[in-house]
Chain A
Amino acid sequence: AQSVTQLGSHVSVSEGALVLLRCNYSSSVPPYLFWYVQYPNQGLQLLLKYTTGATLVKGINGFEAEFKKSETSFHLTKPSAHMSDAAEYFCAVSALRAAGNKLTFGGGTRVLVKP
């Protein structure tokens, strides 16, 4: 079984400040890890993914995340927040199996960016 815990349901940052969103996962098999962003009244947009290889992955809009197996973490960061980063962010875990590759999501972190 797989699970995801996102620490902090709400995060408030000032424009230009560091954005740090925390994600810890549990998986009995090597995980595939994802961050998705959801803007109001919209679906999910893939920000970045970790499958295999390099543990520091870069995504769209200046976001990056680091896979740390020893800490079972996949935290998302952005050096400088922009007003357009205000949205809800979801961390998800999956495994590529012949029986399917369902995504298991965390509860989400809503980001508020203050001017």
Chain B
Amino acid sequence: DAGVTQSPTHLIKTRGQQVTLRCSPKSGHDTVSWYQQALGQGPQFIFQYYEEEERQRGNFPDRFSGHQFPNYSSELNVNALLLGDSALYLCASSLNRVNIQYFGAGTRLSVL
């Protein structure tokens, strides 16, 4: 049983560029959440998708957007990258109405 998978594992971009990160949830899960973990800090909630809709959002600007597909996989898009967007981006999946989230290994984004 595959767990949560994320791609790519590492990414280097320059300021102003756009990036797309991908996540496949654990088998049977229908809810995907995204978190940003800056160096030396705890993860911060970006948003959560369920039934292809964003149903909860953290305190992140509109430059951060996402999508969930019918197969429950998800993308995180970040536009107009800033140096401060450099972080580990974590995807977590869960089953709706079951409050346990399982995390992928993350995508490390470096913005130069």
Contacts and interface: CB of A to CB of B under 8 A. Distances in A.
Interface of A: 4, 32, 34, 36, 41-46, 49, 51, 90, 92, 94-96, 99-108
Nearest to B56: A100
B45 A42 contact: no
A99 B106 CA distance: 25
B33 A103 contact: yes
A44 B100 CA distance: 12
B33 to A, nearest CB: 7
A44 B103 contact: yes
A75 B48 CA distance: 28
B33 A49 contact: no
Contacts of B44: 105
Interface of B: 4, 6, 31, 33, 35, 40-45, 48, 50, 55-56, 58, 90, 92, 94, 97, 99-106, 108
A2 B90 CA distance: 20
Nearest to B104: A43
B105 A106 contact: no
Interface of B, helix, strand, loop or mixed by DSSP: strand
Nearest to B90: A43
A104 B45 contact: yes
A102 B99 contact: no
A105 B35 CA distance: 10
B98 to A, nearest CB: 8
A84 to B, nearest CB: 18
A4 B42 CA distance: 10
Given A34-B100, A99-B55, 12 more contacts: A42-B106, A44-B92, A44-B103, A45-B103, A90-B42, A94-B101, A100-B55, A101-B48, A101-B99, A101-B101, A102-B33, A105-B44
A73 to B, nearest CB: 17
| Candidate in A4, A51, A105, A107 with the most chain B CB atoms within 10 angstroms | A105
A49 B99 CA distance: 10
B110 to A, nearest CB: 13
Contacts of B97: 96
